[in-house]
Structure 1
Amino acid sequence: MEGAAVPRWLLALTLATSGPAALAQGCPKTDPEAMALLSALAGRAEAVTYEGVLTLQRGNGQRMMTLRHGVEDERVSEALTLLTGQEAQVVRDDHPLDCEHPGHRLLRAAADLEHGDCGLAGHYRISTAPGERVAGRQSVRLLLQPRDMYRHGYVFELDRESAVLLKGTIVGAGGRALERFQFASVKVGAVAPGASEGPAAVVHRAAHPHPATPEAGPTAGLHWVPGWLPAGFVATDGAGANSLRRSYTDGMATFSVFVERLREPLRPGEGVVREGSTVSYARGLTLGTAPVLVTVLGEIPVNTARMVADAVRRVR
């Protein structure tokens, strides 16, 4: 939806991970306090009702919006409404509170730790620091610093009482803030009715397809796979070999790969569009004898998107 694009981590406003269990042998040392904080966030934040006014800053642009997150009868409803620019709203209705997506499972690493999987700690250095006051509430700071060049870093300010995300910053190379979200005012525990469309001129109702459902597209008959993915990224759905799109996550960052069949090859070159932490990278390739346009879209560095696109290959 034009003018209303928001990052996945802002829409979700929740993480999930293992508790402060001992890491598998050979995994990096992790701050037990940080892991406990992540565990508290996973168990409490999504189940808390809250609403408020927030700002989202991407580069030199800034948007103001309202977020309403209501929980009733073990089901979640959300409405994110722009207050500046285009009248637009993103709505998620009647979402099961216990619904677990691939990103949640990837971060809930307790069972996998016994099998040598370090989970999120294998790809981010996770630590805590004293927080600041945000929207009149005291926070605890949670830092996730990437262990490689293939992903961004994150700085979260979590409400000390409820673990609700009050402020979040995505950090790029050299510590540069790429994107920042922050509540200007918030009511935690306030009665928030279910999400409704309201007066917005454009309303996008968030879809919730089953992750095991394959998606067919105009690449039918053209079987392709990503020849390379950054360590820690896994598929978020059951896309088939001839799907138009496949999506991947490491539990924090998310990106999608699109492959579109063309009538004739494109001239050599590439196209890059960046907005905050989100990059869209596109280039023409030939898979076998078929010319295609490959696009990588997500919250990853440009070089990561380029490497993923270059590695797409055809399979029989």
Structure 2
Amino acid sequence: MRGGVAVLRWLLALSLTATGSAALAQACPATNPEAIALLEAFARRAEAVSYEGVLTLQRGNSLRMMSLRHGVADARVSEDLTLLSGQEARIVRGEHPLDCEHPGHRLLRLAVAPEQGACGLAGHYRISTAPGERVAGRHAVRLLLQPRDLYRYGYVFELDRESAVLLKGTILGAGGRPLEQFQFASVSVGADADADAERPPAAVIHQAAHPHPALPREDGDSGLRWAPGWLPAGFVATDAAGVHSVHRSYTDGMATFSVFVESLGEALRPGEGVVREGSTVSYTRGLTLGTAPVLVTVLGEIPVNTARMVADAVRQVR
């Protein structure tokens, strides 16, 4: 940390997470207590800070520029993401309660992650820190999450030293190959962020939904009772999908993927389809559940072999 204020804030973050980090270090000797404390500070503090700026998103040969506003007022969070290059489009998420906690948040906060066992997220990622870069004129600390198996990707985060806001993020594939990266080119944090700034108009505006994680989704009826017969260790359901739901989503606290099951009139010929963009894969294949032909699609930020194994394991249940 540089500067007295930053040191005080970092010590405060450590004091808030010391109990959970110490217990985790005892249960998982290979973990780094400093890295765990930083991850918990990121999970607890970054959401509660207002910030706005211009960022770039690199996915393969595609480069996009966007403006992002993350505002916090009256214990509620609102977000506005606008594309500045290519198609005019905008995503708006408003009135999200600051204390609303989803399964991914619980898994990220390691001290309260019973779904993953004693080691929490550290049971599936080697978590460490390193000297950070200077991003958008702000000094950062680097947080690294290296997968302990072949079923998930690695992550490198550059977190603002003062606020824990994520300034730059990289998703790494096999051999440490960058698959996707975003970073702020300019950013204002806290009191410097202009929450009331005028947003540019957009041809397409999407209002992001906020379903309650404990309530079943009404997203269609597959006509079948089904479930994935295998999931990578550490992944849990993100919400209470109905037994006949067309799709279900899962997270390990970092990565998220969804499984879609669609009934077909007749069976497909053997084969599979794969589409990849950056870290996101869409894997599709035909299966027969009982006597019913179905199309199974796995979509999310996981390696293609993981998606294939999840799709192959979909089973009909009674």
Q: TM-score, normalised by structure 1?
A: 0.90
What amino acid sits opposite 1:130 in the alignment? P
**Aligned match of 2:127:** 126
Match of 1:301 among 294, 303, 317: 303
Q: Percent identity?
A: 78
Stretches of structure 1 lacking an aligned partner (at least 5 in a row)? 1-15
The 3-state SS of whatever aligns with 1:103 is helix
Judging changes above 3 Å, is the alpha-carbon distance between structure 1 residues 114 and 243 closer, same or farther for their aligned structure 2 residues? closer
**Aligned match of 1:4:** none
Whether the 8 Å contact between 1:215 and 1:245 is mirrored in structure 2 is: no
The 3-state SS of whatever aligns with 1:238 is coil
Whether the 8 Å contact between 1:219 and 1:244 is mirrored in structure 2 is: yes
**Aligned match of 1:150:** 151
The 3-state SS of whatever aligns with 1:174 is helix
**Aligned match of 2:290:** 288
1:70-89 alignment runs, 5 A limit: 70-89=71-90
**Aligned match of 2:280:** 278
What amino acid sits opposite 1:68 in the alignment? R
Whether the 8 Å contact between 2:25 and 2:31 is mirrored in structure 1 is: no
Judging changes above 3 Å, is the alpha-carbon distance between structure 1 residues 220 and 55 closer, same or farther for their aligned structure 2 residues? closer
Deviation by residue 1:212-238 (Cα, 9 ceiling, x = unmatched): 222345544310010000000000000
**Aligned match of 2:6:** none
**Aligned match of 1:7:** none
What CA distance in whole angstroms lies between the structure 2 residues aligned with 1:102 and 1:49?
Answer: 23
What CA distance in whole angstroms lies between the structure 2 residues aligned with 1:273 and 1:113?
Answer: 34
Whether the 8 Å contact between 1:77 and 1:195 is mirrored in structure 2 is: no
What amino acid sits opposite 2:202 in the alignment? A
Match of 2:234 among 217, 232, 246: 232
Whether the 8 Å contact between 1:68 and 1:195 is mirrored in structure 2 is: no
Whether the 8 Å contact between 1:89 and 1:204 is mirrored in structure 2 is: yes
Whether the 8 Å contact between 1:17 and 1:38 is mirrored in structure 2 is: no
- Aligned pair count reads 301
The 3-state SS of whatever aligns with 1:21 is helix
1:87-166 alignment runs, 5 A limit: 87-112=88-113, 116-166=117-167
Q: Report the Cα offset of residue 105 of structure 1.
A: 1.1
Whether the 8 Å contact between 1:91 and 1:197 is mirrored in structure 2 is: no
Q: TM-score, normalised by structure 2?
A: 0.90
Q: Which moved more, 1:207-216 or 1:74-83?
A: 207-216
Q: Which moved more, 1:193-202 or 1:107-116?
A: 107-116
What amino acid sits opposite 1:232 in the alignment? G
Q: Report the Cα offset of residue 26 of structure 1.
A: 5.2
1:19-34 alignment runs, 5 A limit: 19-23=20-24, 27-34=28-35
**Richer in helix (by share):** 2
**Aligned match of 1:169:** 170
**Aligned match of 2:11:** none
Match of 2:224 among 222, 225, 240: 222
Stretches of structure 2 lacking an aligned partner (at least 5 in a row)? 1-16
**Aligned match of 1:43:** 44
The 3-state SS of whatever aligns with 1:23 is helix
